[in-house]
């Protein structure tokens, strides 16, 4: 996180690129790093296992931060410095080679990060025996406390690491990150003999593709009159009965004459009913998956435009100037305080007064997170409107360059960071719990992957929205909302767009919940009959 939040200030301040371009560099990297989680998940499930995936990608991550230290430390890999007030007109932008080296280092780091994230939570849950009631009860607290520890590390990143980058140089900050990863790997390796390991079940993505391909090949095959013509492997420990939903996928399990001629089934042509039902269960998660992407689009703004806002405002706390990237400490603080309050205050109350001893459901947590994303963008838009009013007032009273720092405290940005932090605490734990627990037993890894892709797509949606808003609002020679300099933009309008989209998204989420409730009621009626 300490690396991510400072990308924008480096690309704008050192590489001299426009603010919107810098924002897209940060969000594209953020999206890609989470997308690499899918790659890590496939490798873990198919080849290496979770333990070795973590080891290999931790080394890649350390290599990436080392490359970042070199790319930011060598003067030849960045344009010559210039006066800050002349950024919009006179600064030489980084050339393609300089940005290429920086991006290469950044994405090597991102590949390592994605590989680690794909397996670390799964290895953690492997340490709990689901058949043991005591261990199963302990697992209820795992997701919240796991994220609390991550948040503490992030807190150090956006404070200590960002300060080192700003005061001592980027190469120092990235070098320390590389050493820290090597030390973390050493600590991880020290517990090798004590970990619990589970056998690889094969790539769930490959299994899903097999069902889709088999169903496609048999799309013209008529459905049999009896389920006895559907393939099932009854030697397995557990099987799943066929359901009526998504019946087009059932054709993957139809036994044809060609299938009967084979001694062993071809998995790309014939799948078991259980495998088909597992894929159906994953398809059923898609509506909830889609409704959570917008939150992470809002989250992406905290590491891009919100950091640029802070860099143009008064960041003094007494005699100390807070680095712009460090304002994400309030986001992390919001996460940690929310998790502690929920764990120490609300959970005991739930156990004492509620029938549901596990606290809020995963879907309730997701809904709360989506609600706070609306509050965050509304607060951000209001603060930005006031910031731009201060710029206009200052421009009328003097001939000061609009790129100069404003006499308005950056602490006005706190509400947007805190609201996103509170929402993050709920939605992260809710999504992680929902996608792991609602995924079929053989596809827990893809459940984690689905969750992480919502974060990835949230960042990519942010990049797409920035590009679209620039083009649409800049038509016919007009000044677009996201101009080269942050003080020449109408970022408040952009924030309002995100607030409205978040509100619509919450409505979609509630509609999905109502649909799920109706399906459950119909099933209960059938069981009663």
Shared-domain flag, residues 395 and 273: no
What pLDDT does residue 526 have?
47
Question: What is the value of pTM for the model shown?
Answer: 0.82
β-strand pairing of 320-321 with 316-317: antiparallel
CB burial of 431-443 (b: ≥16 within 10 Å; e: otherwise) equals bbbbbbebbbebb
Q: Are residues 264 and 332 located together in one domain of the fold?
A: no
pLDDT above 90: residue 496: yes
Domain boundary among 236, 260, 278: 278
Helix (H) and strand (E) counts in the chain: 19, 2
Same domain, 353 and 438: yes
Residue 306's contacts (CB-CB under 8 Å, 6 or more residues apart) are 327, 380, 413, 416, 417
- Split at pLDDT 50, 70, 90, the class of 515 is confident
253 in the same domain as 169? no
CB 201 within 8 A of CB 442: yes
CA neighbor of 25 nearest in space, from 296, 293, 305: 305
pLDDT of residue 206: 82
168, 262: one domain: no
> Is residue 1 one of the residues assigned to a domain?
no
| 486 and 381 in a common domain | yes
Last residue of a domain, one of 253, 278, 303: 278
Q: Are residues 190 and 223 located together in one domain of the fold?
A: no
Judge whether residue 258 has pLDDT over 50.
yes
Split into its structural domains, the chain has a count of 2
CATH code where residue 91 lies? 1.20.1250.20
- Where residue 527 falls among pLDDT bands split at 50, 70, 90? very low
Closest CA to 404 of 417, 413, 412, 395: 395
Residues 296 and 266 reside in one and the same domain: no
| pLDDT single digits (tens) 327-381 | 888 998 999 899 889 888 888 887 777 776 678 888 999 999 999 999 999 999 9
Position with higher pLDDT, 87 vs 21: 21
Listed in sequence order, the residues at least 6 apart from 145 whose beta carbon sits closer than 8 Å to its beta carbon are 339, 343
Length of the chain measured in residues: 529
Domain hosting residue 183, numbered range: 7-200+286-528
Specify the pLDDT at position 522: 47
Looking at the structure, tell me whether residues 269 and 360 fall in a common domain.
Answer: no
* Residue closest to 19 by CA, chosen among 283, 229, 310, 328: 310
State whether the Cα torsion 378-381-385-386 is positive or negative: positive
- Residues 234 and 340 reside in one and the same domain: no
By CB atoms closer than 10 A (0-12, 13-18, 19+), residue 91 is: buried
- Of the listed ranges 123-132, 169-178, 271-280, 309-318, the least confidently predicted one is 123-132
Report the chain's C-alpha Rg in angstroms.
26
Residues 298 and 432 in one domain: yes
CA distances from residue 70 to 2, 106, 128, 462, 513 in whole angstroms, order as listed: 17, 11, 42, 29, 50
Mean pLDDT of the chain: 85
232 and 361: one domain?
no
Amino acid 46: pLDDT: 76
């Amino acid at each position: 996180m300490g690396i991510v939040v400072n990308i924008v200030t480096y690309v704008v301040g050192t590489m001299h690129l426009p603010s919107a371009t810098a924002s897209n560099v940060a969000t594209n990297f953020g999206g890609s790093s989470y997308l690499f989680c899918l790659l890590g998940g496939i490798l873990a499930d198919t080849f290496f296992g979770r333990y070795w995936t973590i080891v290999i990608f931790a080394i890649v991550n350390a290599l990436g931060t080392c490359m970042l230290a070199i790319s930011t430390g060598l003067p030849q890999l960045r344009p010559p410095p210039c006066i800050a007030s002349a950024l919009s007109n006179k600064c030489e932008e980084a050339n393609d080679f300089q940005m290429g080296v920086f991006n290469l280092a950044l994405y090597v780091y991102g590949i390592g990060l994605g590989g680690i994230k794909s397996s670390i939570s799964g290895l953690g849950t492997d340490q709990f025996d689901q058949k043991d009631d005591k261990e199963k009860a302990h697992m209820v607290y795992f997701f919240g406390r796991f994220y609390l520890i991550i948040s503490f590390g992030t807190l150090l990143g956006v404070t200590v690491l960002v300060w080192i980058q700003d005061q001592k140089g980027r190469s120092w900050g990235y070098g320390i990150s590389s050493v820290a990863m090597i030390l973390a790997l050493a600590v991880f390796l020290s517990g090798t003999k004590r970990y619990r390991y589970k056998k690889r079940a094969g790539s769930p993505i490959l299994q899903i593709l097999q069902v889709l391909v088999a169903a496609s090949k048999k799309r013209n095959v008529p459905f049999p009159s009896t389920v006895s013509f559907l393939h099932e492997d009854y030697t397995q420990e557990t099987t799943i009965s066929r359901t009526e939903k998504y019946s087009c996928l059932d054709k993957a399990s139809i036994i044809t004459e060609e299938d009967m001629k084979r001694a062993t089934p071809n998995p790309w042509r014939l799948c078991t009913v259980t495998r088909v039902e597992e894929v159906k269960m994953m398809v059923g998660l898609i509506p909830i998956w889609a409704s959570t992407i917008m939150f992470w689009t809002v989250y992406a703004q905290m590491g891009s435009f919100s950091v640029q806002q802070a860099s143009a405002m008064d960041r003094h706390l007494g005699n100390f100037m807070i680095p712009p990237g460090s304002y994400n400490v309030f986001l992390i603080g919001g996460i940690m305080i929310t998790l502690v309050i929920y764990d120490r205050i609300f959970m005991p109350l739930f156990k004492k007064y509620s029938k549901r001893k596990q606290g809020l459901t995963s879907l309730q947590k997701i809904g709360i997170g989506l609600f706070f994303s609306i509050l965050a963008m509304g607060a951000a838009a209001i603060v930005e409107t006031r910031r731009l009013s201060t710029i206009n007032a200052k421009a009328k009273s003097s001939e000061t360059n609009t790129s100069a720092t404003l006499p308005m405290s950056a602490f006005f940005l706190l509400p947007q960071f805190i609201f996103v932090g509170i929402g993050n605490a709920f939605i992260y734990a809710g999504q992680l719990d929902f996608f792991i627990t609602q995924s079929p037993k053989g596809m827990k890894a893809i459940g984690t992957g689905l969750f992480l892709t919502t974060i990835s797509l949230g960042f990519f949606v942010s990049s797409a929205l920035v590009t679209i808003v620039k083009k649409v609002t800049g038509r016919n020679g007009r000044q677009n909302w996201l101009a080269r300099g942050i003080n020449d933009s109408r970022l408040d309008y952009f924030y309002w767009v995100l607030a409205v989209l978040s509100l619509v998204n919450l409505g979609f989420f509630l509609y999905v919940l109502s649909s799920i409730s109706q399906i459950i009621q119909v099933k209960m009626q059938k069981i009663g009959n």
